[in-house]
């Protein structure tokens, strides 16, 4: 097993919104993806899948952003 630095994404983008796009992949249930695609095609004329993923991420964040606050409150302040 290789040892070295553990690469972790910086959380700073959570606090400074960026419009930079990133390409990603996900594993989802096949039937859910079929339904997602059908709705995306009906809702968005231009670039249905990308627009639907962007909307899905925004809705996920809105529904779950309180988790960040609760987690932040559980992390004790470190003394310098």
Show contacts of 14-21: CB within 8 Å, 24+ apart. Answer: 14/68
pTM for this predicted structure: 0.63
What does the pLDDT look like over 11-40, one tens digit per residue?
A: 554 555 567 888 888 899 999 999 999 999
Report the C-alpha gap between 37 and 9 in whole angstroms.
30
What does the pLDDT look like over 57-77, one tens digit per residue?
A: 888 887 877 777 767 666 666
């Amino acid at each position: 097993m290789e040892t070295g630095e553990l690469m972790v994404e910086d959380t700073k983008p959570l606090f400074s919104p960026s419009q930079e796009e990133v390409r990603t992949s996900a594993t989802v249930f096949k039937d859910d993806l079929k339904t997602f695609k059908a709705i995306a095609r009906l809702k968005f004329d231009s670039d249905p899948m990308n627009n639907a993923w962007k909307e899905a991420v925004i809705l996920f964040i809105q529904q779950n952003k309180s988790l960040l606050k609760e987690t932040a409150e559980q992390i004790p302040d470190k003394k310098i």
